[in-house]
Structure 1
Amino acid sequence: MSTRKRLSPEESRAAALEAARALLIEQGPQSVTLKAVAGRIGRTHANLLHHFGSAAGLQKALAAHLAQTVCDAIGDAVRATRAGIGSPREVVDLTFDAFGREGAGALASWMLASGNEDALDPVVETIHQLIDDIIPEEADHDSRPQADRAIHEITFTLVLMALGDALLGDMLADSLAVARSSARERAEAMLVAAFVEAREGA
């Protein structure tokens, strides 16, 4: 008689995504397969097929899960910075760590290289939602379009810097003989200037 705990569909899906995230971090994006995730959580291949449809479906769901986790953390840091609790460097470190240490950059790169062109859709959608959430609340009706555009440009630049740093940072830093933290420091300066401008324009 099996003693395996029966999980709800939501719990089963969440457990699979957490296992996939752990595999990504421990072994790299090529390890995120239905078979490996099923083995990690003690479920069957068929069970995961039911939830995700295919390996590509699992990988896209993982991208969405990572994007939401990343943007929740970044959004919290941005709001803390505005309240005088956090700092722009905290926002930068969370973003860079998400694409580097947490594996989101490697996953996105691998999925695009393997022909899954819409892999970044959930990431872009989640970041777009984050942008809408952190637009300065004090912006009046006339200045709102300008605030929208500024936040879009800052987020666009920050994400590109973090993704590039995750994929090429070590190699470029060695090649150019610059400090490994240079990109983070530039990103921090950009955010500091942006927050100062937002406060002065309020």
Structure 2
Amino acid sequence: MSVTPLRRRLSPEESRAAALSAARALLVEVGPQAVTLKAVGARIGRTHANLLHHFGSAEGLQKALIADLAARIVGTIKAAVIRSREAEDPAEVVDLTFDAFGRNGAGALASWMILSGNENALDPILTAIHDLVEDLAQDHKNSGAPIREETLQLVLMALGDALLGSSMAKALGLPRETARQLARGMLLADRRK
């Protein structure tokens, strides 16, 4: 006779946090198509109905995941921007931005959701970036640095790199890190103006 272990009852916050953690892991390990209610539920030992209760749909789960990723990423990038202003080298900011969209899967998830018809998929990321830029611009009013333009270039470069960077670099016979180097050079040039 097999005995099924009792599952510990989680608070709504704990259940939601566990689901988002599992969704992040699936995103990185398998890709955005793997972030489904069924797959996340299987990872955390919860039912499809339980996750429906917390997120409403797979789209709701994915949007919550993007919001969670955006909050984590923006907090890390803000600290790096402040450090880079003191060091005069934006390398850490470039790496964190490229990693957020590439290695952490935010670029693939956002693109996949948009291509799946969810046009509001980027709202949490766009809002988080907007708020970060506004906050940083207030902190650095007299710098003369074109923070909005730099942010636009950096985010578009990082997103493009996440989606096509490896293939493009290979096709052009360039080292994989070329886009990061170009982004860093762009930010350094803006600082020297």
What is the TM-score normalised by the length of structure 2? 0.91
State the shift of 1:179 in Å.
2.1
Q: Which runs of 4+ in 1 moved over 6 A?
A: none
| SS across alignment from 1:119 | coil
> Any gaps of 5 or more consecutive residues in structure 2?
none
Deviations 1:61-90 (A, max 9, x none): 111111111111111100111233x84101
Q: CA deviation at 1:161?
A: 0.1
Please tell me the residue identity of whatever aligns with 2:50: N
How many equivalent residue pairs? 190
CA distance in 1, matches of 2:17, 2:38: 16
Out of 53, 56, 64, the position equivalent to 1:53 is: 56
- Answer with 166-175 or 131-140: which moved more: 131-140
Of 148, 153, 156 in structure 2, the residue corresponding to residue 152 of structure 1 is: 148
**Alpha-carbon distance between aligned partners in 2 of 1:22 and 1:2, rounded to the nearest angstrom:** 24
Question: 1:37, CA displacement in angstroms?
Answer: 0.5
Q: What is the CA-CA distance between 1:53 and the residue it aligns to?
A: 0.3
| Letter aligned with residue 128 of structure 2 | T
- TM normalised by structure 1 equals 0.87
In 2, the alpha carbon distance for the partners of 1:179 and 1:98 equals 20
1:8 and 2:7 correspond: no
Structure 1 stretches lacking a partner, 5+ long: 198-202
Distance of 1:162 and 1:194 partners within structure 2: 18
Q: Name the structure 2 match of 1:42.
A: 45
C-alpha distance after superposition, 1:83-108 (max 9, x if no partner): 33x84101000111111111111111
CA shift, 1:181, in A, is 1.5
Q: Which moved further from structure 2: 124-133 or 5-14?
A: 5-14
**How far did 1:137 drift?**
2.5
Considering only aligned residues, what root-mean-square deviation do their CA atoms show, in Å? 1.9
Question: 5 Å matches for 1:136-175?
Answer: 137-139=139-141, 150-175=146-171
The 5 Å alignment of 1:1-202 reads 3-84=6-87, 87-135=89-137, 137-139=139-141, 150-197=146-193
C-alpha distance in structure 2 between counterparts of 1:90 and 1:32, whole Å: 29
- Give how far 1:195 is off: 3.7
Q: Report how far residue 121 of structure 1 moved.
A: 0.7
What are the superposed Cα offsets for residues 133-156 of structure 1, whole Å, 9 maximum, x if unpaired?
A: 21262525xx9xx76xx2111111
**1:161-202: CA deviations, max 9, x gaps?**
0000011111111221222211111111122233445xxxxx
Equivalent pair of 1:77/1:87 in contact (CA under 8 Å): no
Report the secondary structure of 2:122's partner residue: helix
Q: Partner of 1:200 in structure 2?
A: none
Output the CA distance in 1 between the equivalents of 2:28 and 2:13: 23
- Quote the Cα distance in structure 2 between the aligned partners of 1:93 and 1:107: 19
Percent identity reads 62
Distance 2:102 2:117 in 1: 22
CA distance in 1, matches of 2:85, 2:105: 28
CA–CA distance in structure 2, aligned partners of residues 67 and 40 of structure 1:
22
Distance 2:13 2:55 in 1: 12
